[in-house]
């Protein structure tokens, strides 16, 4: 059996992080989302089909023709015309029932195994607010009656979470499916058809589902993995005058200098430099080649590869892009004075992030000037800089 992972989209809602990489390559404990996905599928399938498009060369370079012994086939989706259109491109790449899943969500391996054992089915999770999702109405034996996108009438709390087990006949259904008003062919249309003809069921989740719809969700996902998937260990060089408490992983080639304090859970990748005299607080992830220097404090943040906070920085609840350098005195504010949730602009609209604490989201290759202060929830696009003493009150996009 094959698994199809849809990884072609541009992911504009996660800008600026996905201006320079496809969303499936965002890091979770130093490893890409896509790598975690393939590893979860490995016991269930004999090959993975990746539907690629946006910045596909980065995915091809990282995964090649096989990943950890699992053969990889690439199918190109030249136009992003919906999930059904993406699956339709794979008609010649699968030869029997197959799994399909989103390329930017993480699913519990046990739930995927139960899905793989089913016939025509989809994973479904009970959610507190059904109005935000596609919702299944089912019979007592979990046979699908209908699937309604963001219903105004609450008739069920079983949400569609974007993972399916589909028969080959789905390709004929998709070929006959008319595009929506947006010109897209949706996979949910095929689910409706299967439910009406041959039958379609839900497999209720027992484990986790971690979607990544907005840039700050990267913090949520890494926090969950730090709590549940971190394997503590020290493979780097740690000074006797450093202090480490709680579960911590420190990768090979990393040097932790005197006076550094690391309070787990924390993940630190390969060839990083930590200290002297800095504080790495819980739920921080430092990807490979990161640097945190004298008097810097990092709390609940993700620093992508080769990002640096070299001296007198406070980085709280933030995502710092690859190859970014924070000049001395750069501070990310992460709490509103009125105690309300932090808001952030996405696609021109100001939205509630649902987080009381959220710092900055910085793209790749950002350089701040000394004593830069950044308001909560603000974003800086890749390759941009601030001047000494700047206060970032609005997103910097040009």
Indicate which CATH number applies to the domain containing 317. 2.160.10.10
Average pLDDT, the chain: 96
Do 364 and 221 share a structural domain? yes
pLDDT at 132: 84
Do 296 and 200 share a structural domain? no
Task: Give the single-character DSSP code of 390.
Answer: -
Known catalytic residue at 85: no
The predicted model gives 290-301 an average pLDDT of 98
Do 230 and 187 share a structural domain? no
Do 233 and 142 share a structural domain? no
**Alpha carbons 11 and 8: distance in angstroms, whole number:** 9
**Alpha carbons 160 and 155: distance in angstroms, whole number:** 14
pTM of the model: 0.96
* 221 within a domain of the structure (yes/no): yes
Statement: residue 181 has pLDDT above 90? no
Q: Residue 39 sits in a domain of what CATH number?
A: 3.90.550.10
Write out pLDDT tens, residues 355-391. Answer: 999 999 999 999 999 999 999 999 999 999 999 999 9
The DSSP-derived string for 295-316 is: T-EEES-EE-TT-EEEES-EEE
Domain hosting residue 234, numbered range: 217-392
Write out pLDDT tens, residues 20-72. Answer: 999 999 999 999 999 999 999 999 999 999 999 999 999 999 999 999 999 99
pLDDT at 279: 98
Closest residue by Cα to residue 229 from 14, 39, 3: 39
> Looking at the 3D structure of the chain, how many domains does it have?
2
- β-strands 158-166, 134-138 pairing: antiparallel
pLDDT at 261: 98
The predicted model gives 94-115 an average pLDDT of 97
Do 312 and 251 share a structural domain? yes
**Within a 13 Å sphere around the CA of 357, how many CA atoms are in the beta-carbon half?**
10
pLDDT category, 351, cuts 50, 70, 90? very high
Quick one: how many helices (H) and strands (E) in the chain?
7, 37
* 318 within a domain of the structure (yes/no): yes
Do 153 and 79 share a structural domain? yes
**Within a 13 Å sphere around the CA of 272, how many CA atoms are in the beta-carbon half?**
33
Do 238 and 145 share a structural domain? no
| Vertex 101: Cα angle to 95 and 103 (nearest 5) | 120
Q: Which of 194, 211, 228 is the last residue of a domain?
A: 211
* 397 within a domain of the structure (yes/no): no
* 125 within a domain of the structure (yes/no): yes
Do 138 and 100 share a structural domain? yes
pLDDT at 348: 94
* 398 within a domain of the structure (yes/no): no
Tokens, residue 344: 């952030």
Q: Which of 195, 211, 227 is the last residue of a domain?
A: 211
Statement: residue 96 has pLDDT above 90? yes
**Alpha carbons 50 and 277: distance in angstroms, whole number:** 44
The DSSP-derived string for 84-115 is: HHHHHTTTTT--S-EEEEETTEEE-HHHHHHH
| Vertex 23: Cα angle to 269 and 25 (nearest 5) | 35
**For residue 345, what are the CA distances in angstroms to 12, 58, 211, 239?**
12, 27, 19, 43
Statement: residue 153 has pLDDT above 90? no
pLDDT at 253: 98
pLDDT at 47: 98
Q: Which of 178, 211, 244 is the last residue of a domain?
A: 211
Out of 201, 311, 323, 365, the active site residue is 311
Do 241 and 149 share a structural domain? no
Task: Give the single-character DSSP code of 25.
Answer: G
Do 221 and 161 share a structural domain? no
Do 330 and 278 share a structural domain? yes
* 47 within a domain of the structure (yes/no): yes
- β-strands 31-32, 343-346 pairing: unpaired
Do 205 and 64 share a structural domain? yes
**Alpha carbons 70 and 47: distance in angstroms, whole number:** 6
């Amino acid at each position: 059996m094959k698994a199809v992972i849809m990884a072609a989209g541009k992911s504009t809602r996660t800008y600026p992080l996905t201006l320079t990489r496809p969303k499936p390559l965002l890091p979770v404990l130093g490893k890409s989302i896509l790598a975690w996905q393939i590893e979860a599928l490995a016991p269930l399938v004999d090959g993975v089909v990746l539907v690629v498009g946006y910045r596909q060369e980065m995915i091809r370079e990282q995964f090649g023709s096989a990943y950890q012994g699992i053969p990889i086939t690439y199918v190109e989706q030249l136009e992003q015309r919906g999930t059904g259109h993406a699956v339709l491109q794979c008609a010649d790449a699968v030869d029997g029932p197959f799994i399909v899943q989103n390329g930017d969500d993480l699913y519990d391996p046990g739930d995927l195994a139960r899905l793989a054992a089913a016939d025509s089915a989809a994973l479904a999770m009970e959610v507190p607010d059904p109005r935000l999702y596609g919702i299944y109405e089912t019979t007592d034996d979990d046979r699908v009656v209908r699937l309604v996108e963001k219903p105004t009438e609450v008739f069920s709390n079983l949400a569609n979470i974007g993972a399916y087990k589909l028969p080959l006949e789905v390709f004929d259904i998709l070929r006959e499916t008319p595009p929506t008003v947006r010109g897209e062919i949706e996979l949910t249309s095929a689910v409706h058809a299967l439910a009406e003809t041959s039958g379609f069921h839900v497999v209720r989740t027992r484990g986790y589902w971690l979607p990544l719809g907005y840039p700050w969700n990267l913090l949520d996902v890494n926090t969950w993995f730090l709590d549940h998937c971190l394997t503590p260990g020290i493979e780097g060089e740690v000074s006797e005058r450093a202090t480490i408490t709680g579960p911590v992983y420190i990768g090979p080639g990393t040097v932790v200098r005197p006076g550094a304090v690391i309070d787990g859970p924390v993940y630190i990748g390969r060839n990083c430099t930590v200290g002297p005299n800095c504080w790495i607080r819980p739920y921080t992830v430092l990807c490979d080649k990161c640097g945190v220097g004298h008097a810097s404090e990092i709390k609940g943040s993700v620093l992508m590869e080769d990002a640096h906070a070299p001296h007198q920085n406070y980085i709280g609840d933030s995502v710092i892009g690859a190859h970014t350098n924070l000049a001395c005195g750069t501070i990310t504010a992460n709490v509103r004075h009125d105690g309300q949730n932090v808001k952030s602009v996405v696609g021109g609209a100001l939205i509630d992030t649902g987080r009381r604490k959220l710092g900055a989201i910085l793209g790749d290759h950002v350089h701040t000037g000394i004593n830069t202060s950044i308001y909560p929830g603000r974003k800086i696009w890749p390759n941009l800089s601030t001047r000494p003493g700047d206060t970032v009150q609005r997103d910097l996009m040009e």
